[in-house]
Amino acid sequence: MPSNKSVSDAPIVQFTNCRILRDHRLQREDLWVREGKILNPEKLFFDEKGSADVQLDCKDSIIAPGFIDVQINGGFGVDFSLATDDFKSGIDLVSQKILSHGVTSFCPTLVTSPPSVYHQILPQISVRNGGAHGAGILGAHLEGPFISKEKKGAHPEHCLRTFEAGAFQDLLATYGSLNCVQIVTLAPEMRRSSEVIQELTKRGICVSLGHSVANLSQAEEAVQHGATFITHLFNAMLPFHHRDPGIVGLLTSDKIPAGRRVFYGMISDGIHTNPAALRIAHRAHPKGLVLVTDAIAGMGLAPGRHTLGQQVVEIDGLNTYIAGTKTLSGSVATMDTCVRHFQEATGCSAETALEAASLHPAQLLGIEHKKGTLNYDSDADFLMLNDSLYVQATYIAGEEVWRQDVSGM
């Protein structure tokens, strides 16, 4: 049927025979796309008297928003914390490869490093839209170096820093620039952290609490000053204690400012968090759960020795340790694997599992008006999945950027 081209000459694509994740449930509707955006078919029919130029049969697939990974340290041999001459080609490789995991946007994450590394790498990271070249870059996640020595995890102790008299200036001097920074993870018990949290929040940067020995009141104070995220809940923080639950207590705190939601990242790889702990967190605060991979350079590679910033790590199956120790150091899990494990461990619905990797990270970053949903006028970044939540195809701005090889299905 011919389209009415009075509004736009761009072709209209109608995805049929699918179940769309919209308003927290899978609905049997068609998905309409034009110029990289989700289209409202009622406006198309009644205002424009238009119709589809192309119809695609989705063969009863689930269509869900693309996954957003806000904590990924690298993959496929690329380490985002290593300053190399070909850093840009490395980030391009990872952004291309993670399309097959259903990731359409991500925050390249740098672990604790010397200032010279930040000064070299951060100018090479730029926010950009996704496409056939790879997933979109939302900005960097800087995890450290303003973290606790006691809970440093895989972060090198000699690179850790504290806030001195000019706290925010210390941070600026360390990083060099905040132009492309989306998230900063810090330990809120550090002296002068409150003023740093306020300054970062003022600049629209998400502050995350992690690698910390903070008690609950210190964590609540950080949230009152603007912090909105917890970096890999349960990992690299004080364990839950009934008299002072620490950062974990934020999930049920009654001191969160009105209208504010605290989000928390979880590495749902079956290694970092026992399924029972995953269930406890999810049942306590389901709308705050954000799935992250915390993937390192060894993701997608054979077991053996790889890097994580300044450290050498060993991969043994799904376990990743600092070489010669039993200290966990990131994961080699892919985002689609984390989604499936989360659903299996918690018994949650497919909708809930998918939103933990799409809607929630978008809400955390304040971009849910364009990412993380299939609402009208949002970006047409979406996935086709089967009922077992295996990704069959990935679309960015309405264009197919990856499809499962039929022979491999």
86 among known catalytic residues: no
Residue with the two structure tokens 């090479």: 124
Residues in a beta bridge with 68:
105
Q: Who's near 354: CB < 8 A, 6+ residues apart? A: 21, 62, 64, 65, 339, 385, 389
Reply yes or no: is the peptide bond before residue 145 cis, omega within 30 of 0. Answer: yes
The annotation status of 154 as a binding-site residue, yes or no, is: yes
Q: What are phi and psi of 406, to 5 degrees?
A: -55, -35
Q: Who's near 365: CB < 8 A, 6+ residues apart? A: 68, 70, 138, 182, 183, 206
**Whether 32 contacts 70, CB under 8 Å:** no
The annotation status of 143 as a binding-site residue, yes or no, is: yes
The annotation status of 243 as a binding-site residue, yes or no, is: yes
The annotation status of 236 as a binding-site residue, yes or no, is: yes
Catalytic residue selected from 294, 336, 379, 381: 294
**Whether 320 contacts 296, CB under 8 Å:** yes
Q: Tell me which residue of 194, 185, 204, 201 sits closest to 146, measured CA to CA.
A: 185
The annotation status of 173 as a binding-site residue, yes or no, is: no
Type and span of the H or E element at 360: helix 359-365
d(CA 334, CA 101): 6
d(CA 314, CA 370): 39
Pairing of strands 206-209, 229-230: parallel
Pairing of strands 12-22, 54-65: parallel
d(CA 198, CA 224): 9
Q: How many helices (H) and strands (E) does the chain have?
A: 10, 22
The annotation status of 403 as a binding-site residue, yes or no, is: no
The annotation status of 211 as a binding-site residue, yes or no, is: yes
The annotation status of 24 as a binding-site residue, yes or no, is: no
The annotation status of 356 as a binding-site residue, yes or no, is: no
Tokens, residue 257: 């400012």
**Whether 95 contacts 135, CB under 8 Å:** yes
Please report, in range form, the residues annotated as the binding site for substrate: 154, 235-236, 243, 272, 328-330
Active site residues: 294
**Binding-site residue ranges:** 143, 154, 211, 232, 235-236, 243, 272, 328-330
